[in-house]
Structure 1
Amino acid sequence: MMLSWHDHLMILPIVLPMLVSGLMLLLGERLTTQKAVVNVLATLALLAVAVALLLQADDGQLRVAVYLPANWPAPFGIALALDRLSAIMLVLTSVMALGALLYSLARWHRAGVHFHSLFQLQLMGLNGAFLTADLFNLFVFFEILLAASYGLLLHGSGPQRVKAGLHYIAVNLVGSSLFLIGVALIYGVTGTLNMADIAVRIGQVAAADRGLMEAGAAILGVAFLIKAGAWPLNFWLPPSYAAASPPAAALFAIMTKVGVYVILRLSLLMFGSSAGASSGFVQPWILYVGLATLTFGTLGMLASQNLGRLAGFSVIISSGTLLSAIGFGQPGITAAALFYLVSSTLALGAFFLLQELMERSRTFGADLLAVTLEAFGLDRNAAQEDETNSADIGVVIPAAMAFLGLSFIACALVLSGLPPLSGFVAKFALLTSVLNPGGLTQGGSGAEPAQAWILLALLIVSGLTTVVSLTRVGIRTFWVPAGRAQPRLRVIEVFPIAAMLVAGIVLMVQAQPAMRYFNDTARALHEPDAYVQGVLSTRRAGPSGDAQP
């Protein structure tokens, strides 16, 4: 039978941004308003499609939906695979993209050329990376999102962005080279690039070739650890994210999760129980790298004074927490990590957007303030006049400082994991699962290895450090300055921040159904047979009845 229209939804997150990006290139740079409208409508459509795919993936079974763009069955043709994990990432990407885009319409989309085209290409690369079931096409989408991110990072120009952009490009080119080397080694041993097919063949690899295959997997893992911001390969991240424009940085918050997503997907798919002698090969390394990354991010938070760098180190702490959780290889811990992934990404996106608005409320030279205003040798009145004159023209929102203060507190609570917001729920679930991997209802003994207690200590210390660092910045921004002019904010700048924080509150209120979804997702990831069979058993669609199941 023929495929129905809703069976083609899976290709839309890739095709739609590709077509829209090309259309906006044809429109030229003079039609900025028209391009902005098209971009917003396309992003809204992507969000609607992502939500539809999320509902489609949640059918109560451990199944995967497969789409064959060229109508050739795997492993010979390109295959797209949709399960709960990829559906979660699609929705999260669309939410982050819509918030960043709306914020950019205040002024940032006019700061350089081709912003809207690059923005849609970024979405194409991200969505493709989450949907593809093939390593080579993963590389293709990986390069598309990186190429678009180069332009978005440099958007707005300036020496700081150019310097950070050169470092960012150089590091990611190295990562791309490692990606190709790792893929080539895996293909040379297994003879396939389809991820499900690799999962089948990896247990059949001869003992003489196993070392070469594991070396390829390790090299491939390094490439994605670079993208995830893992230590010691994350020196580029804080300066790059601090230099990027706020909407670009907010979108970049989801980019580090691409590395985490691929590591989670491939580690459980390729090195699960069916991998023979290589079963569990990567798990200890992921755990140790995650713990080191979490430690590095904690120290960086404590040493930073700049809001942009604080946000960058918050991304590193988030990546370290997720990698550590993945390294335990337990379904309950993986489910809690997915809850934390969504919660922390929303808070980081709001924080990246909020920092620019906070800077408008600060007096000139406020970054030099250590304890008191006596540390300045500047005239306060002149500084305030300079700040007022440089503020963007906009509608003054009543109690603007109250909004900034409450939003900053909400971001701090989520990122540090303090109650009552979603960050606390996520860390509580994570710690409960780490200390009792057997489950409270499954007779878990509570006797934990040393790594569990190390992660427990690092999560507590990182949360405390985040509270101290952000409280220090909050005091300097909202408390110490006196006689400050009211900052001018626009509704289109305020709305995306409020929406992301409200989404986090909804996640907290709906924690029970959310955790049910994440538990189902983790269970499917740790039982990859359904994914493998779904991808490899899907047949060509056509009038003869050879259709997808």
Structure 2
Amino acid sequence: MSAWAEWAARFMPHLMLAPIALPLLTATLTLLMREERQRAKLTLNIASTALGLVVAVALLRWSNQASAPTGMGVYLQGNWAAPFGIVLVLDRLSALMLVLTSAIALCAVVFAGTRWHRAGVHFHTLFQLQLMGLAGAFLTGDLFNLFVFFEIMLAASYGLLLHGSGRARVQSGLHYIAINLAASSLFLIGSSMLYGITGTLNMADLARSVPLVLQQDIGLLHAAAAILATAFLIKAAVWPLNFWLVPAYGAAAAPVGALFAVMTKVGVYTLLRLWTLMFGAEAGASALFGGAWLIGAGMLTMAFGGIGMWSSQRPVHLAGFAAVVSSGTVLAAVGFGQNHLTAALLYYLPGSTMGIAALFLLADLVERWRTDGTPLLADDGNEAPFLTPELVPRPGLNLDDEEEVLVGRAIPAAAALLGLAWLVCTLVIAGLPPLSGFVGKFAMLSALLNPLGLGSSAGLRPGAAGWGLLALMITTGLLSLLALTRTGIRHFWAASERLAPRLHVLEGLPVAALLLGCVALTLRAEPVLRFTEAAATALHAPGTYIRAVLETRPTPTPPAPAAPAAAPDGAPSTGSAS
């Protein structure tokens, strides 16, 4: 065994706690610091998020090690065996989502360091609690624990969405809070019904129990699963439950919108995880239950998002509808239950999410450039005093003339950098060659056209639904291309009389990093697709997951030291030290 394998076998299971414990510790420290110490809070936030990214990459490497083909890691919290104890489970899918979340979070917090973190209070605490909730949702192997992390994530997102105040933000935030409270209620109802039917909330134990459900209880089981799925579909922004997304994400601060690009993927991840576990090919009478509904809902969501992009004018609304299209595409592909199609969507998911996050950041820069040198309207309808170009806030924000100047040096040729970044975002989101959006869509189209290929798992045959998804992927790609190109022309080519934008390093660097991530996915497409193929194969063979969780035994407790022997009356007692 190599030195890496020995070290990994001993310490890596404990490292699974770090994505949850590290943000919790950082949030506590930033909460205890005075609000005036913004620079220290920002430094701590960036350092913690960067360390979290390093940990996520290490966990990704561990999940993909050659010596463990199943790519599974199980941590028994409190040293209690499942299903009685709550477990953390790491596999290739959860590791991929951790890396994606950490990468986008690092870019978002660096971007926020220019000015957005000063728009309100407790930004850094809320940001880290958001990361804690996301990491916990990806790692937990228990349904009730998933609910706890969902609530942590949502509570933090409420504060982040309202960060900076303003009428539009408060109005959209109230809608966002109301719909998510309803989703939480459905989550509790569905979980309670599942517990009443199966007697467990451990995900692996649920998967083992579903095929054993009595025939007369199968209808109740399906009803409970449908209620639970509705809660996740709300988070995944499925039509018609996605009316809240574009106004809420559009009103949020730019770095918050970029981080929220991952939020819709939490619902997608949870549906993919639970559906393949509970209703896979081994689920007996419940096999592939709800697959047709996922396909239909995903396709309607794609159509809604494509039409929304075509009808939008503001860049931030384009980013919101692009998130809807991406979520719908992934959900529709999940519903077929084919491992090759799942592998392709797992490749498409990180690239599209990074492209959407970059577009949220770009939208803020483009909007600021458009309003430079012109008076802004405050919430009360009165014109705000003239602000210098680098200090122009978006309407409705709690920023004023006293706001500090942007951090970092200005970047020369900023307009060219913005234009190039917009072009790359367009290629990724529309799915045009040669970037990762095209590779992911092409892989999904290949899986749809060749459903009976070598190593294909049992699932729904594409048929008319497959041809419909194929047509929608091409159509939404075309609509995205036209919408983004039209907006790019208006903001870049038709802006000849506008002053050159002032773009700072801490603003340009996160956008460039996210788009370089999409380029890296393209250059490393072959090994990444091998990784996603292994992840999809494990998802569609849930027996591996079930055995790994339920057969992991607690660590034996070391024996207590023996008590010294009692000495006879009158004799001195003796003992030995171990």
Shorter chain as denominator, the TM-score bin is over 0.9
TM-score by length of 2: 0.88
**Pair 1:21 & 2:39 matched:** no
Sequence identity (%): 54
- Relative to structure 1, the CA distance from residue 159 to residue 327 in structure 2 (aligned partners, 3 Å threshold; closer, same or farther) is same
Distance 1:329 1:389 in 2: 50
Corresponding residue for residue 185 of structure 2: 177
- Equivalent in the alignment of 2:356: 348
Contact 2:162-2:170 at 8 Å conserved across structures = yes
Superposition TM-score, scaled by structure 1 size: 0.93
Say whether the 8 Å CA contact 2:338–2:456 is kept in structure 1.
no
2:341 aligned with 1:327, yes or no? no
In the other structure, the counterpart of 1:198 is 206
Q: Report the counterpart of residue 47 of structure 2 in structure 1.
A: 41
Residues 481-535 of structure 1: CA deviation (Å, up to 9, x unaligned) = 2221111111011100000101110110000000000000000000011100000
1:66-117: CA deviation from partner (whole Å, max 9, x where unpaired): 0012100000011000000000000001001000000000000111100000
The 1:118/1:389 distance shift into structure 2, 3 A limit, reads closer
Match of 2:319 in 1: 311
CA distance in 2, matches of 1:365, 1:129: 44
In 2, the alpha carbon distance for the partners of 1:239 and 1:119 equals 20
Q: Secondary structure at the match of 1:322?
A: helix
Q: How does 1:265-280 map to 2 (within 5 A)?
A: 265-280=273-288
- Quote the Cα distance in structure 1 between the aligned partners of 2:536 and 2:166: 44
1:464 aligned to 2:470?
Answer: no
Residue of structure 2 equivalent to 1:398 = 412
Residue of structure 2 equivalent to 1:450: 464
Q: 2:564 — aligned with what? A: none
Specify the code of the residue in structure 2 equivalent to 1:303: S
Deviation at 1:34, TM superposition (A): 1.1
What is the aligned partner in structure 1 of residue 73 from structure 2?
65
Supply the AA of the counterpart residue of 1:283.
G
Q: Secondary structure at the match of 2:503?
A: coil
How far is the alpha carbon of 1:434 from its aligned partner? 1.1
* Deviation for aligned residue 1:441: 8.8
Shift of 1:276: 1.3
> For residue 227 of structure 1, what is the aligned residue in structure 2?
235
Residue from 109, 114, 127 that aligns with 2:117: 109
**1:24-423 equivalent positions in 2, closer than 5 A:** 24-60=30-66, 61-362=69-370, 388=389, 391=392, 393-394=405-406, 395-423=409-437
Which residue of 463, 469, 474 corresponds with 2:488?
Answer: 474
Partners of 2:148 and 2:322 in 1: CA distance: 29
Find runs of 4+ consecutive structure 1 residues off by over 6 angstroms: 440-444
Equivalent position to 2:445, from 414, 431, 441: 431
Hey, what does 1:500 align to over in structure 2? 514
Aligned to 1:540, the other structure's residue is in SS state coil
The structure 2 residue matched to 1:6, chosen from 3, 9, 12, is 12
Cα distance, 1:440–1:531 mapped onto 2, change above 3 Å = closer
- Corresponding residue for 1:484? 498
The farther-off stretch of 94-103 and 38-47 is 38-47
Task: Answer with 1 or 2: which has the greater Rg.
Answer: 2
RMSD across aligned C-alpha pairs, in angstroms?
Answer: 2.2
Deviation of 1:391 after TM superposition, in Å, equals 4.1
Shift in Å, 1:360? 2.4
Instruction: Find the aligned partners of 1:230 and 1:359 in 2 and give their Cα distance.
Output: 28
Distance 2:335 2:539 in 1: 14
Q: Deviations over 1:151-194 (max 9, x none)?
A: 00000110000000000000000000000000000000000000
Shift of 1:129: 0.2
Partner residue, 2:533? 519
Q: Is the 8 A contact 1:396 1:487 kept in 2?
A: no
Aligned residues: 526
Shift of 1:7: 2.5
Any conservation in 2 of the 1:178–1:223 contact (CA below 8 Å)?
Answer: yes
d(CA) in 2 for partners of 1:365 and 1:347?
Answer: 29
Maintained 8 Å contact 2:373/2:387: no
Gaps of 5+ in 2: 1-6, 375-382, 394-404, 560-578
**C-alpha distance in 2 between matches for 1:541 and 1:178:** 37
Measure how far apart 1:386 and its partner are: 7.1
For structure 1, the residue ranges without an aligned partner over 5 or more in a row are 367-381
Q: Secondary structure at the match of 1:106?
A: coil
Q: Secondary structure at the match of 1:353?
A: helix
